[in-house]
Amino acid sequence: MPKIDADERLLKSLLNDNYDNQTLEESLVVAKAELDGYDESEKVYKIELNDTNRPDLWSPAGVARQLNTYKAEKIPSYDFFSTIDENKDYEDRILIIDQSAKEIRPYSVGFAVRGKKLTEETLEAIIQSQEKLCHNFGQKRKSIAMGVYRSDLMKYPIHFKGADPDKEHFVPLHMEEDISLREITKRHPKGIEFGHIVADLPLFPLLYDDNDEVLSFPPVINSAHLGAVEAGDENLFFEFSGTILDDLILAANIVAIDCADMGYEVLPVLCKYPYETPYGKEFAVPFYFQKEATCEVPFLQKMVGKELTDKEIVEALTRMGISSTIENGTIKARVPEYRNDFLHPVDIVEDVMIGHGMENFIPEMPKDLTIGHLTKVETFSRKIKDVMIGLGFQEMMYNYLGSKKEYIDNMHVSGESYIEIANPMSENYAFVRPSIIPSLLESESVSGYAVYPHHIFEIGKVAFKDDSDVSGTTTRNYLGFLSSSGEMGFNQLNSQIATLFYYIQKEYTLKEMVDPRFIEGRSGNIIYKDVAVGVFGEVSPVVLESWGITMPTVACEIDLDLLLAL
């Protein structure tokens, strides 16, 4: 979960009331957060946020806003937002996106602020917001990259384009040498860390002003001139580039409101595109794009288990910063500019519960009489575990989410049926596990120091796309096992499969198949009652090399749900 540092002086300047440490800790529950500690020497609060869907809370200003709104029961308002049919006064503040950006990093938005000099505390808060939004919400800058620049040194309009990585050059932040964009990806620390995002693109993103002065090479590094923001600067320009427009605008809205809460005047910037976007070719940012959220009152009453009046519901949502009305038994909620997490009526239910006060809900013991028992697949799984352990295998347990590299690249498969998370908090957890074999190979890749042979297995869930299911996906219980040693091969694996099926008393046959994960001619399907219930084989040397495994390895995977159902 996200953790933030909140300077005590800054946080208390943003809060409308005085809070001691104990009161603050008790109050943070309304922001779905908890006090993780207090650094006495640095005068810094350590706050852990318990919700990855509320990036607006990942800053001292965001936490303070939620506490103030809850206590004052008053919704904060901001007058600098535009809508699809309304543009605010942007004077000469224009951001022009070039056609060349469409295929490489299609969206860029921005806004400006003025009226207050940066202090060390506010600068640190802005940098922290940048890191949290881009790393957690923006998939390590892949979908969101944010830059802050010195407006006094820039000339509008600002331009965003795709640039020749070998011809375009500038002096990057923390360097004194003028080098090309491609050299930055190879020589600059940030280039080495984030250059892979754009390395394979024919053009690299570039942000520059009307004097051809470079602001930054997003998503990698700012320039050492316009991008070297420091305490004492007063006029700033914020730019956000990436691949998902709604996420960029939401991030911009959050930072703009944080700046407004810290005392800055927010100035809209007109974003002009040569191609169509979900909001047309021109719109000013900050921009209100959220849609109304609804929830039926009977559904809410059933979910919370308590009769709440219409007035209590509206008051609860007001404490959470949400304006709402109730008409004909339907709650209509105006989603705040800094939130975009209302995906289902239950999200309104959650805010009503928090706003009403969790302490006002009395826990009840279930009244239904139920008798628990193991499912058939669990009983079957436990029997198989006993067999595998008897065969000398060690049981493993793995995460159900992983990366594209683990599940697709290292396995040399297309991944067409794999389930990808729409907006993962990290690329390490971007896919739902489609197979147990990659998890087993990952363990083997770090076990070269252990005495051979290695025998490991897991019984767990996998998921993949399935058009026959109403959800479009299916989740299955699988057995996966792996053996690795200098003498390991098809015969040993065949013996293991035969022993397993002997003890579970099921007749089977083997049928040859072609699978890129295994060596052709040394792999196949396990057939039970004329249905393929599993795969097995000697793991391909190409796959082993991708994982850094040096010993011959065999693997098998069986669909236990299917095996049990036949």
Q: pLDDT tens, 457-476?
A: 999 999 999 888 888 899 99
Alpha-helical runs (H) found in 458-514: 490-503
pLDDT digits (tens, 9 = 90+) for 379-436: 999 999 999 999 999 999 999 999 999 999 999 998 889 999 887 777 888 999 999 9
pLDDT digits (tens, 9 = 90+) for 46-78: 999 987 889 999 999 999 999 999 998 899 999
Beta strand ranges found along 340-441 (DSSP E):
394-395, 401-402, 431-432
Q: What is the mean pLDDT of the chain?
A: 93
Percent of the chain with pLDDT strictly greater than 90: 84
Q: pLDDT tens-digit profile of 158-173?
A: 999 999 999 999 999 9
CA distance 238 to 223: 14
Stretch 198-227: mean pLDDT: 95
**pTM higher than 0.95 for the full model?**
no
Give the chain's length: 566
What local confidence, expressed as pLDDT, does residue 364 receive?
81
| pLDDT exceeds 70 at position 306 | yes
pLDDT on residue 51: 79
pLDDT for residue 86 is more than 80? no
pLDDT of residue 21: 85
Q: Long-range CB contacts (< 8 A, 24+ apart) of 216-219?
A: 216/147, 216/149, 217/170, 217/172, 217/181, 217/184, 218/105, 218/108, 218/145, 218/147, 219/105, 219/134, 219/141, 219/142, 219/145, 219/194
Average pLDDT over residues 33-47: 90
User: How far from 374 is each of 367, 368, 371, 377, 463, CA to CA, in Å?
Assistant: 22, 19, 10, 8, 22
Say what the pLDDT of residue 408 is. Answer: 94
> Residue 515: CA atoms inside 13 Å, Cβ hemisphere, count?
23
Statement: residue 371 has pLDDT above 70: yes
Weakest mean pLDDT among 102-106, 208-212, 256-260, 366-370: 366-370
Confidence of residue 355 (pLDDT cuts 50, 70, 90): very high
Amino acid code (one letter) for 476: R
Sequence-distant (6+) residues with CB within 8 A of 267 are: 80, 90, 91, 93, 111, 112, 113, 114
pLDDT at 87 over 70: no
pLDDT at 88 over 70: no
Residue 1 has pLDDT above 80, yes or no: no
Domains of the chain with bracketed CATH: 3-72 (3.30.56.10), 94-285 (3.50.40.10), 293-360 (3.30.56.10), 376-565 (3.30.930.10)
pLDDT at 84 over 80: no
Q: State how far the alpha carbon of 481 is from the alpha carbons of 292, 457, 521, in Å.
A: 49, 4, 20
